[in-house]
Amino acid sequence: MTVWENGAFCVYGGQRVKLSPIQGGLLVALARRAGKPLDYDALGRAGWGEYGTNPENLRAMMKRLRDKLEQAAEAACASGIRAPEKPIETQGGGEHFSGTCTLVLSPSQVEVMQASEA
């Protein structure tokens, strides 16, 4: 996976995936900690800035991001390219807004590029 620091898009399984600014911020934060969990508070700040967001917004945006990456994985599979079908794993996150998300790729499978390298 290659993610551009400005978060406008990523390439997953050979597929270019357009991201909203919030999705981009979330994915860049996850990519910088590939294989390690990132808590919901940190994700909220990554997507929405200093004050974060409410649990419902974060869950909805993570679902949209997951859906986009899973669609890219399906397209990659149809092209003969292997990519994890479920690239983001979520733990916890019940009513108390405590939980984590993890990009299930290893750090060697993820590259965060500068915006000028797009």
Tell me the per-residue pLDDT of 72-111, one tens digit each, with 9 for 90 and over. Answer: 999 999 989 988 889 999 887 655 556 899 999 999 999 9
In a domain? residue 115: no
Domain count, the chain: 1
Q: Strands 15-18 and 38-39: what pairing?
A: unpaired
CATH number of the domain at 44, please: 1.10.10.10
Q: Residue written as tokens 């994700």?
A: 43
Span between the terminal Cα atoms of the chain, in Å: 14
* 53 domain residue, yes or no: yes
Q: What is the mean pLDDT of the chain?
A: 89
- 34 within some domain: yes
Q: Is residue 116 in some structural domain?
A: no
Q: Are 53 and 47 in contact (CB under 8 A)?
A: yes
Which amino acid does the sequence have at 107? P
CA atoms within 13 A on the CB side of 11: 9
pTM of the model: 0.90
Q: Does the residue 73 lie in any domain? A: yes
Q: How far is CA 54 from CA 43, 47, 86, 95, in A?
A: 11, 11, 24, 11
Over the stretch 58-76, which tens digit does the pLDDT of each residue have?
Answer: 989 999 999 999 999 999 9
Residue 33 located in a structural domain? yes
Whole domain around residue 41: which residue ranges?
2-110
Task: Identify whether 118 is part of a domain.
Answer: no
> At which residue do the structure tokens 């508070």 appear?
41
Confidence of residue 55 (pLDDT cuts 50, 70, 90): confident
